[in-house]
Amino acid sequence: MSFAAPAWLAVAALASLGVVAIHLIAWRQPESVSLPTARFVPDEPARRATRTVRLSDLALMALRVAIVLLAGVGMARPSRDRARSGAARVIVVERRPMRADIPLADTIRALMADRVVSVIAFDTAAQAVDVESALAPANGAAHPSLSSGLVAGIREARRLAGIHERVDIVLASSFPEGAFDAATRAIRATWPDTMRLVRFPPAESPPAGSVDVRSHGDDPVAAGIRLAVSQGLARGTARVLRDPPTPDDSAWIAPGRVLVVWPREVDAAATVEAIHAPGATVVGYFSRGSGGDSGRVVARWTNGDPAAREVPWRGSCLRTIGFDVPDVGDLTLTPSFQRLAAELVGPCGGSWSMATLSDSALHAFADPPSTAAVAVTPGPAVNRLAAVLVALAALLAVAEMFVRGARVAGSRVAGQDA
């Protein structure tokens, strides 16, 4: 048994001695003295303190000493020392569609030899699985998040570090740039050791855009979308509805297909506005409409209001556009509008960089963090034994109140009987 803050043990011992000393002071009735008149009697209780070698109120004293000792031991944060032995490894695997000719399974199984292994599979979320489940192709096209995988992997590694002498982390991924976010490197810095990186080729990029625009008459938005497709900016398969949807449109949607509802706002006034989406910002005359009231925001107005949203539907998504452009003008022919249109008709989840991280950046990511970065490592997990001891002390404190109340009530009854 070890203690993280042993000074609390000394504090508890001194406080316990104080409790016992207080109980050595007993109250007794003073000797009776005959007085010629009552005016000399002081207006105070007829009792006084005296020292005695006999302890008083043993039940209360025992409760109070127990409270002090339990609270002191709890604040000292006791922990059971375990004999750590052996080595362990945490393998964090990106769960994405993989090429069949990549012997990733053999690589992962080779890393499992001669040690305890925990496998964490991640895409947008992470969970502990067996190796076969981790290597199975992913369903859908969820973009992986290295932050999610690192959080789960480091948490598991810290758990294993309390049991094993040596724990290392292996991160197996294609390391696409889109998998890194603002928190990824800060999370990496919470593990003060080297990480082994296993890199495999990424999944194939989405095919060139195939966009079916359902519109009638002269429609500048339809022209801008077709121009974006011809320029190779669009990706994935989408159907854009400028006209009211039909039952055939509902039946068309399927995994990998995106249905985009982009209604014409013929009665809305056009004003100069700006719309921002990842990788595109367009300033021009726009007519505001309704972009829906739920779902992931795809584009925003300059004041932060949603200009387009998407919601999951049948393994894909339904995207609603809340703006239109006037029939006159060349706004839809500009490169900025074409990039915006490519984003609005692109695959579910928005734009995502398939480019992989450079070798030099990967080496820097694998190396242990600097001393300053290690300082932000989270503290140890909650000490459950300490929490139990403090809670028990609190319960005994409540019991002490009842015992003390019963003691006072008994003294009053005895005094009245006398």
Q: Which of 104-113, 133-142, 315-324 has the lowest mean pLDDT?
A: 133-142
Residues 408, 75: Cα–Cα separation, whole Å: 31
CA dist., res. 233 & res. 337, Å (int): 11
Range 87-204+355-374 has CATH code 3.30.465.10: no
Average pLDDT on 212-222 reads 90
- The better pLDDT of the pair 229, 356 is held by 229
State the pLDDT confidence band at 214, using cuts at 50, 70 and 90: very high
Q: Region 384-412: what's the mean pLDDT?
A: 81
Whether the per-residue pLDDT at 205 is higher than 60: the answer is no
Looking at residue 312, its amino acid is P
> Which two structure tokens, joined as six digits, stand for 52?
């005695």
Phi-psi label, residue 9: left if phi above 0, alpha if psi -120 to 50, beta otherwise = alpha
d(CA 185, CA 361): 11
Q: Is the pLDDT of residue 349 over 80?
A: no
Mean residue pLDDT of the chain comes to 80
Token reading at 111: 């890393």
Given a cut of 50, is residue 254 above it in pLDDT?
A: yes
Q: Which region among 22-36, 77-91, 263-277 has the lowest average model confidence (pLDDT)?
A: 22-36
- Domain positions in the chain: 2-77+383-417, 87-204+355-374, 210-344
Look-up: residue for tokens 């995106």? Answer: 258
Structure token digits, residue 387: 């929490």
Q: What is the pLDDT of residue 96?
A: 67
Structure confidence at residue 101 as a pLDDT band (50, 70, 90): very low
pLDDT at residue 223, rounded to an integer: 92
- Is the pLDDT reported for residue 16 higher than 60? yes
pLDDT, greater one: 265 or 83: 265
Assess whether pLDDT exceeds 90 at residue 410.
no
Q: Which tokens belong to 174?
A: 């294609």
- Sorting pLDDT into bands at 50, 70 and 90, what band is 239? very high
* pLDDT band, residue 145 (cuts 50/70/90): confident
pLDDT of 221 > 90? The answer is yes
Q: Does residue 58 sit in helix, strand or coil?
A: helix
Q: How confident is the model at residue 117 (pLDDT cuts 50, 70, 90)?
A: confident
Q: Is the pLDDT confidence value at 373 over 50?
A: no
Q: Is a pLDDT exceeding 50 seen at residue 53?
A: no
Q: What is the pLDDT of residues 283-333, one digit of tens each?
A: 999 999 887 788 888 899 988 899 999 998 887 899 999 999 998 889 999
pTM over 0.95: no
- At 2, which helix (H) or strand (E)? strand 2-3
How high is the pLDDT of residue 334?
93
pLDDT surpasses 90 at 241: yes
Cα angle 364, 365, 367 (rounded to 5 degrees) comes to 65
> How far from each other are the two terminal CA atoms of the chain, in whole angstroms?
54
- Residue 212 has a pLDDT of 92
Determine the pLDDT at residue 258. 92
Band the pLDDT of 242: cuts 50, 70, 90.
very high
The DSSP-derived string for 107-147 is HHHHTTTTSEEEEEEESSSEEEE-HHHHHSPPSS-PPP-HH
Which residues neighbour 101 within 8 Å (Cβ) at sequence distance 6 or greater? none
pLDDT in the model for residue 169: 93
Whether pLDDT at 111 is above 50: yes
Give the whole-number percent of the chain exceeding pLDDT 70. Answer: 77
* pLDDT mean over 148-167: 89
Tokens of 143: 């973009």
Residue 348 has pLDDT above 50, yes or no: yes
282 burial (CB, 10 Å; 0-12 / 13-18 / 19+) is buried
Q: What is the reported pLDDT for 325?
A: 93
**What integer pLDDT is reported at residue 377 of this predicted model?**
40
Judge contact between 200 and 105, C-beta under 8 A.
Answer: no
The rounded distance, in Å, linking the Cα atoms of 265 and 320 is 13
